Structure 1
């Protein structure tokens, strides 16, 4: 029997610092769950250091539940190899939603965990060394979970195949496209001048990490410019990641301003000739759906998650094939791309309501499973 209006704690740590894809997923989910009012939701301020955790810009109706144990005691316990349980840190709840793969131990709270991708399994050589231990830490977390969320059906299928979990315990909770993308205005001359960008340009958005395969995009763009010196510039937006940075020496015709405020990103994407996402692996590919919402042509590598989220609204090329990417960009610049209405319609399928409704189903499922386990 479903629990009426369960209490749900959502891990707030992805909201710290520059807002990445997981941070935006977490913030959007908090906001929509609070708006709907079908669950009693709060952000869990799990202690990571001696100082109290401060989370900025929490949505209305989604308060912060702070850690009840002083940070110095948490740190002392961790130095002894002891991880304090959730209930000791933040109090009781029906559900804890770990939105970034991992979760603390818990006594009675039902665990829901989101798996965004399995790049650590499919492409371990591209991973941040600090995250390589996901391969050993995620499996026990999934075994503890009463329900699992994934952001695409492609990742759901991988999770079922790799970890042998019951498909009935996995719920697809896709990233939602924010409303600002559907009304985005192109960057004006002042914004372009501030970062040294010409009027015509292609754009890439994402962390500059090996999994994004920027070398293939840079090689394709260099060949495009070799054939036509008047071809659009390439704008690379995103923070530096790990491994060799292919933009450390900026090639001719490439502009790489690093991390930019989200308002600037929206306008710069809206003004692009096309967005290119050449990734080796993605769990969702948020920049692609956001560009579609802005009506911008999209080119993606031909991988399962990107095929799923872009449907027939984007052009695809074989992974790592710079020559094919050059040809695909050239075709896009000639107008050989799905029409604007198709692009926007595809993006409109990813709504906050769809994500929250699927998450709520996962929460009720988790509470029911937790109850069943206790009754045995």
Structure 2
């Protein structure tokens, strides 16, 4: 089966991590897979090496003028990817878009809805809506998101959870972990950058409360590559951190080889996201055996169950992080490792292939 997976970016965001891992697992199963993506800011490849069995097509996407709005950049992204992909689309049995930009660019396609957003920018709102209603088939990475699609749009998506690179996070080198400990000391880690959806303001409020009891603990923030402009939110976050008298360590995007030991060396992992579809970074923390505290959302209850601690306010987050740092809980840690180990990309790829065959009638001919 010839499969095209489309993504909006080459940089390390959850949907991009998902796209590459799925592509490699599909190729390992014997399928012919090509990943298409925009190459922003001169990017010529993805944030990590991709298995040689997967073809990669990077469509150049140069930076626009300084005055370009987010809406204008979205429209230019769609037009650029569409212009490159459209002449090749008929060559594929399955075209599978992983986000709203690539779904708008792809033409008839399968769409994975990782999570649902609520945009106020007109271009983004229209992009989001078209990317839900126009694809001919849908996949969600959790039942909770699938239920949102059923309730809001009357769709019946397949539910195929993410895989997890379990061994990569469970078997990190002691020396690499020790290097992060030497640099950072005792720390709570979050991955995903500083942005509204990640609950960053709530996290610094929680950290300020935690620090009153545990002044030795640092807050470390990794990641943050995004298409959107969160400078105003970042400014508010920085002002609030200064007012609280705290100085979180902001690492930004971390090299791919450094991420597993950074996660594994953490004393606790905080995941205060306001909206998620699965929580891949949090599942990677469980694979590393790190205590996990997440926002009390239905989707995260579904995915993590008793393997995580749940909190819904900064005060509750501070308390839960305090417990995670001080209470030895081998039963919960074992549950977390087992949960993460069950989510394999091999299984995810097999379920995707079964779904592809169901929507093509087993004919290996793209439906649209």
The equivalent residue for 1:21 is 14
> In the TM superposition, what is the alpha-carbon distance from 1:364 to its structure 2 partner?
1.5
Are residues 185 and 64 of structure 1, via their aligned partners in 2, closer, same or farther at CA, if it must alter by over 3 Å? Answer: closer
TM-score in terms of structure 1 length: 0.78
Query: Which of 7, 20, 23 does residue 30 from structure 1 map onto?
Result: 23
The answer (yes or no) to whether the contact 1:213–1:278 under 8 Å persists in 2 is yes
The equivalent residue for 2:218 is 233
The answer (yes or no) to whether the contact 2:113–2:141 under 8 Å persists in 1 is yes
> In the TM superposition, what is the alpha-carbon distance from 1:64 to its structure 2 partner?
3.3
The answer (yes or no) to whether the contact 2:296–2:311 under 8 Å persists in 1 is yes
Query: Which of 255, 258, 269 does residue 261 from structure 1 map onto?
Result: 255
**Alpha-carbon displacement from aligned partner over 1:197-240 (angstroms, at most 9, x marks no partner):** 22x1111111210111122221121112223434x211111237
**Alpha-carbon displacement from aligned partner over 1:35-78 (angstroms, at most 9, x marks no partner):** 011x32222367999x9x843433222223678xxxxxxxxxx8
Matched, 1:163 2:153: yes
Q: Unaligned stretches of 5+ in structure 1?
A: 1-5, 68-77
TM-score in terms of structure 2 length: 0.80
Are residues 19 and 11 of structure 1, via their aligned partners in 2, closer, same or farther at CA, if it must alter by over 3 Å? Answer: same
The equivalent residue for 2:92 is 93
The answer (yes or no) to whether the contact 2:7–2:99 under 8 Å persists in 1 is no
Q: Quote the Cα distance in structure 1 between the aligned partners of 2:152 and 2:319.
A: 35
The equivalent residue for 2:346 is 353
Query: Which of 187, 190, 209 does residue 204 from structure 1 map onto?
Result: 190
Matched, 1:213 2:212: no
Are residues 54 and 254 of structure 1, via their aligned partners in 2, closer, same or farther at CA, if it must alter by over 3 Å? Answer: closer
The equivalent residue for 1:140 is 130
SS at match of 1:139: helix
Q: Quote the Cα distance in structure 2 between the aligned partners of 1:260 and 1:228.
A: 26
Query: Which of 315, 323, 326 does residue 318 from structure 2 map onto?
Result: 326
The answer (yes or no) to whether the contact 1:85–1:105 under 8 Å persists in 2 is no
The answer (yes or no) to whether the contact 1:208–1:240 under 8 Å persists in 2 is no
> In the TM superposition, what is the alpha-carbon distance from 1:315 to its structure 2 partner?
0.5
Query: Which of 111, 114, 119 does residue 113 from structure 1 map onto?
Result: 111
The equivalent residue for 1:285 is 279
Q: Quote the Cα distance in structure 1 between the aligned partners of 2:58 and 2:264.
A: 38
The equivalent residue for 2:54 is 62
**RMSD of the alignment, in Å?**
3.1
> In the TM superposition, what is the alpha-carbon distance from 1:171 to its structure 2 partner?
1.7
Give aligned pairs, total: 333
Are residues 40 and 325 of structure 1, via their aligned partners in 2, closer, same or farther at CA, if it must alter by over 3 Å? Answer: same
Which structure features the higher share of helix residues?
2
Q: Quote the Cα distance in structure 2 between the aligned partners of 1:372 and 1:20.
A: 28
Q: Unaligned stretches of 5+ in structure 2?
A: 60-75
